[in-house]
Structure 1
């Protein structure tokens, strides 16, 4: 596996469903919502989504993300001035994308062009491309649910809608 800092970059991201945000940073407190797959036989009806990646049309500010290139896939890290700084985006909790401390088991991603081909920073024309993102296992990042914190970013499922990501690349070859 070749690390490639020249193909790494920092960007803010918006989507066709709104801006990405982390509820704890947006609201300044722990955020719980009703489970999207709530089962009346379950003991717990709510789940903590404070560190989940969410999409909200009127999210106040766009988060910055560091895309760290390894061969033709990326580890994605959140860059904040607060909690979750440099934590990795991963789907450790069912199919939802959340922040976790980085480790060797975190989810890695491929960037896709409009034809669904795997691309890297070298293939992006300009600083504002629109892409799709999939897990290395081939599942597209999507959004599902309508909660008070917005839709939850997840790996594709039958109840989700694929996300188109509009990047605003702030720096290339970032370390």
Structure 2
């Protein structure tokens, strides 16, 4: 299907890959690089750690809801051999720990409610992963509104004790 969409033969497509696993790994690397770039961009913009977390979430939801997305879903891990799968899980955990650091720093500065940062980071990773399933819903409205609505389901209540509209 991918070769067809690229308008190349399967042989030509697989010429650039040693195996199907290489394609899955490349997709994961692209996804992880996209997440890490969003985290870096939020840090470069500065602001409170709440602002950084919210900015990262908005950037990644924009990717998930766009034609450029989606980020590769965690369900694709089952397609990988155990050793390669473990490497991908370790990279995912490093990204989650970076989210946990932002959450912890936000708790310390008082902009994020006190939560277990590691659990919240894993919940955030799952939340971003699940956004793919909401694309059809998101495409029914302006993207900015879809991002705000979807993000508010996690951010208000888990990380922020303010009520929407405060």
Band the TM-score falls in, shorter-chain normalisation: under 0.3
Larger radius of gyration: 2
Higher relative contact order (CA 8 A, sep 6+): 1
Higher helix share: 2
**Superposition TM-score, scaled by structure 2 size:** 0.27
**Superposition TM-score, scaled by structure 1 size:** 0.26
Higher strand share: 1
